[in-house]
Structure 1
């Protein structure tokens, strides 16, 4: 009996010890959750709340202080606005040419760097520097570089006898000024992503192709490019999302109305102009959700197309 009683006490002590250990573990985990509270509150305050507040404002006529329920009229105002559709056209024009130029060019540069036995780290740093440069600072520099009279680009063109465009002063060339800036700023990111995937392709595939008599061009066409399909899909999707949200550089180069003659005003700049220049926060909120739907649709289409290719 005494032995059984001692065993029962030992078991109860073990159970108590396990419970105490579990309680301590829960308390230690609770401490870590407490550290997450500031970040969680920041997400709620600066991300979640603005999303729902913008959705609410899209149904109101608001100047920031006075609000009146407006139903779907804000969406009608945006969808029947000439400047809005002009901003959509500008956004797509700049985005399409940026992607068509940057991804193939970045892939070619990445292929050349990958084939270089020495100095790869140096080339990575050189090409990636524009990407870590502030887009605002880069836009200010480009405004000087592309100045029609004092810019170094026109100076070089004039030196070799080529015509000197007015760039940002002419609506016919202003979009290409933004495209040049976008390509210069984004190409480093494309090169780094492509280079990482190129170095992940198994060398055995190239060795087998060499044994079968495949040339370097054939290896590039039938081994390298097919293995880059997932990378191209990623760059296409991220490139489109960034292009459709373009604001900073066009604001610096042309202001909220995308001067000259609204030629570089994007959807983001249109939203800023209506909200913070015209104080039409309801219209700006409606335009924001229309832009969100456009981004959502194009992201979905890009995913579908990428899966079809894969």
Structure 2
């Protein structure tokens, strides 16, 4: 009995059949794929389907219920529409000045924060707060702050003897009201991105520059700025994409027509006006794809200028 018991103990462990192991692994994989199905269906329903449906509608005259195939006529209508080209001009005007002001200003603030020995986290939070604020809520606050009669800005300008402005009531100044709002809302994001790159620059480069007698400004000019090229390229590309898609703030400040006198109507607002106010979904879809091509071209140009590969 003892010998038989020892033989049983000495026998190697029984191996699990290969087939059952593969079946168990396959069941686990199927389970994970089942969890992905709701997200996949959501992407198909709310992202992929609208893309193809809007492309189809761009070739139809449609009010949402009645459709008629008209070929490329919608594209011709959009490209010969004066309000559309006015919205393109407004979009580029606001976008150019927003980027030209916000990126350099955000980089300067990031450099100052990075050189501060204490309180960096405090300044990060303070400057990033506008970015986490809802753009709709921020636009409503700006509409009150820039009110020509009750606004705080005009009150402050009048108190120091400077000329006031009608801001959102005047077509000549309404664009700058949107630019101020865009810069205020976006600059916190720029500061955080620039700070991340600034802290990644090797301290040895600055130490070598100090040994060579370079001043702090020379180090910033010849070491910091050249090492920020990739970050500047990223900010320019994302800034342009966001600027060309601008809608929320101009809708709150001026409605779908971009009042006063369509002075702040952007391409996004033009698409909304034609689609959901005029019920011209074919024209709105065609304008959407024209805007997409404009964004694609400018993204390609930015990548080439920044010497980045697609």
Aligned to 2:34: 34
- Secondary structure in 1 aligned to 2:56? helix
- Secondary structure in 1 aligned to 2:282? helix
Q: Residue deviations 1:192-231, cap 9 Å, x none?
A: 0000110011101101111111111111111101110000
Moved more, 238-247 or 299-308: 299-308
Q: Matches of residues 1-310 of structure 1 in structure 2 within 5 Å?
A: 14=15, 17-307=17-307
Q: Using the alignment, how far apart are the partners of 1:37 and 1:107 within structure 2? A: 43
Aligned to 2:7: none
For residues 229 and 252 of structure 1, do their structure 2 counterparts lie closer, same or farther at Cα, with a shift above 3 Å needed?
A: same
- Secondary structure in 2 aligned to 1:95? helix
For these two proteins, the number of residue pairs brought into alignment is 298
Superposition misfits of 4+ residues, deviation over 6 angstroms: none
TM-score by length of 2: 0.94
Q: Using the alignment, how far apart are the partners of 1:160 and 1:105 within structure 2? A: 25
- Secondary structure in 1 aligned to 2:68? strand
Structure 2 gaps, min length 5: 1-10
Q: Residue deviations 1:244-272, cap 9 Å, x none?
A: 00000000000000000000000000000
Q: Using the alignment, how far apart are the partners of 1:247 and 1:166 within structure 2? A: 22
TM-score by length of 1: 0.94
CA RMSD of the aligned region, Å?
A: 1.4
Q: Using the alignment, how far apart are the partners of 1:217 and 1:132 within structure 2? A: 32
Structure 1 gaps, min length 5: 1-9
Q: Residue deviations 1:142-185, cap 9 Å, x none?
A: 00000000000000000001111000000000000000000000
Q: Using the alignment, how far apart are the partners of 2:32 and 2:308 within structure 1? A: 44
Q: Using the alignment, how far apart are the partners of 2:26 and 2:179 within structure 1? A: 54
Q: Using the alignment, how far apart are the partners of 2:27 and 2:119 within structure 1? A: 52
Deviation of 1:297 after TM superposition, in Å, equals 0.3
Q: Residue deviations 1:35-74, cap 9 Å, x none?
A: 0100000000000000000000000000000000010000
Deviation of 1:308 after TM superposition, in Å, equals 6.9
- Secondary structure in 1 aligned to 2:17? helix
Q: Using the alignment, how far apart are the partners of 1:262 and 1:79 within structure 2? A: 17
Deviation of 1:121 after TM superposition, in Å, equals 0.5
Q: Residue deviations 1:90-121, cap 9 Å, x none?
A: 00000000000000000000000000011101
- Secondary structure in 2 aligned to 1:61? strand
Deviation of 1:20 after TM superposition, in Å, equals 1.7
Deviation of 1:17 after TM superposition, in Å, equals 2.2
Q: Using the alignment, how far apart are the partners of 1:286 and 1:96 within structure 2? A: 25
